[in-house]
A and B are shown apart, each in its own frame.
Chain A
Amino acid sequence: MKICLLSWEFPPRIVGGIARHVFGLAKALAKDGHDVGVVTLDFPGAPDYEEIESFKIYRSKTEVGHPNFLVWAFLFNHFLEKRLATAERDFDFDLIHVHDWLAAPAGIGFKHFMNKPLICTMHSTEEGRSSLHHPDSYMIDGMEWWACYEAARIIVTSNSMKGEICNHFKMPGEDVDVIPNAIDVEKYNVDADRWAVRRRFGVGDHEKMVLFVGRLVPQKGVEYLIRAVPRIGWRFPDAKFVIVGEGWMRGHLEWLADRSGQHWRINFTGFISDDDLVALTKSADVMVVPSVYEPFGIVALEGMAAGVPVVVSQVGGLAEVVEHDKTGVYVYPRSVDSIAWGVERVLSDSGYRDWLVKNAYSTVQSRFSWQAVAKQTVEVYKRVLGEE
């Protein structure tokens, strides 16, 4: 099968989880013997064209810009469409698989021009991310509906997302396939000098490291973790908190840390490299995912694969990835007391922690491998192409 994956982000252009998702899917599909081309946006230092892991990457330059985000998005879609045309000449692909609304106009246009089926993976919705608070949000919401409407089939990563798509966009449930996100477990089979890594991020040898990884935006709920720091610190005076990620809320969160009087316990690292992230995750004592909205929750899966116990909000896809008291601990979203309780539960009982880690690792291997996800995705492709 000849497959074109279309996404506005792809490594090294990493915004959220989509870049890693498209990379993992492309690699697994190519490994299964399919011809795969990824069409995406450029990034300084990345070539316009390259072949890695047996698939092709076509990067598009955005030759005309605009200060307004939505206008800019429409402009880059025009250039993505031109790049799709060159990719199409290179290999006559059977279908286009677009990821989220940002690249949808290019995919939709190409579907109609070339008469190729369009499949759309919706990783989240604007309504879930921002509750449609601004005219731009309504525009994005409309674009998301349009992408779903034009797609021959819609893929989502959790049943919770399927509910959102069916309820909010009024899409028929039979058009929506649930295929979970996946993770490359091998990535975590590396030796990391745990103590050196911890020291590098400001955590002493006898201290407890509580880790958060994610974008610093409201939906990730990191402010509730920061509010829980005084209580966790009271119970565990040697607890240190490492907050990895960037986002527009960072200034506010640092202000909040100052106000708590506990900023000295908290290290805001900003963006760190993938290698550092793996080493840091493997070195943590507990990972907290306090999201208030989470269509899937890949970060929890990364913690589970790295052998660190996870404390997660019982919301959306997170509650489908993690099983309470078996592969992690659920806490109530937006609840400082509950987050503190969850962290304390894990840090205070090493036997329980080991039990969670063992169960979680085995679950990741059996349910969330890229091979399994690629196989399910190909089944969707076959259905669209009438090969089933």
Chain B
Amino acid sequence: MSRYPPVSPRPELPEEFRFLCMLHNVGAINAERSLKVEEIAKWTDKEVSTIGEFLRKLAELGYVQAVKSNGVKYHVSVAGIRKVLTLYS
């Protein structure tokens, strides 16, 4: 019997990280360019409820920040940008 852990299945990038990349690519990378959930839904072609769940997870990880300005808007944090950049290379 092998002393080593079994070969694991090929990992997939979690959906919330794909979404983080989209948020980065549409330019929501600072407070001035933050977007409402509805705007993000339009850009990314995803359901508002799905986006809410992604944003909650990403905010917990510190990759997304919320800004209160005429409602709540969201943008990728600096840690989030670094995360996106590592996903691209």
Contacts and interface: CB of A to CB of B under 8 A. Distances in A.
Task: Determine if chain A interacts with chain B.
Answer: yes
A45 B82 contact: no
A359 interface: no
Interface string A43-61: 1110000000000000000
B77 to A, nearest CB: 9
Interface residues of B, number: 30
Contact of A69 (B21, B45, B81, B83): B21
A158 to B, nearest CB: 18
A248 B87 contact: yes
Contact of B87 (A62, A65, A230, A247): A247
A131 to B, nearest CB: 13
B38 to A, nearest CB: 16
B43 A248 contact: no
Contacts of A248: 11, 13, 17, 86-87
B83 A246 contact: yes
Chain A interface residue number, banded: 35 or more
A361 B61 CA distance: 39
Contacts of B27: 62-65
B78 A256 contact: no
B89 A15 contact: yes
Contacts of B26: 65-67
Contacts of B66: none
B78 to A, nearest CB: 6
Contacts of B51: none
B75 to A, nearest CB: 9
Interface string B27-49: 11110000000000001110000
A345 interface: no
A65 B86 contact: no
B87 A227 contact: no
Nearest to B78: A44
Interface of B: 3-6, 8, 11, 13-14, 17, 21-22, 25-30, 43-45, 78-79, 81-83, 85-89
Interface of A: 9, 13-16, 43-45, 62-69, 72, 129, 215-217, 223, 227, 230-231, 245-249, 251-252, 255-256, 259-260, 271, 336
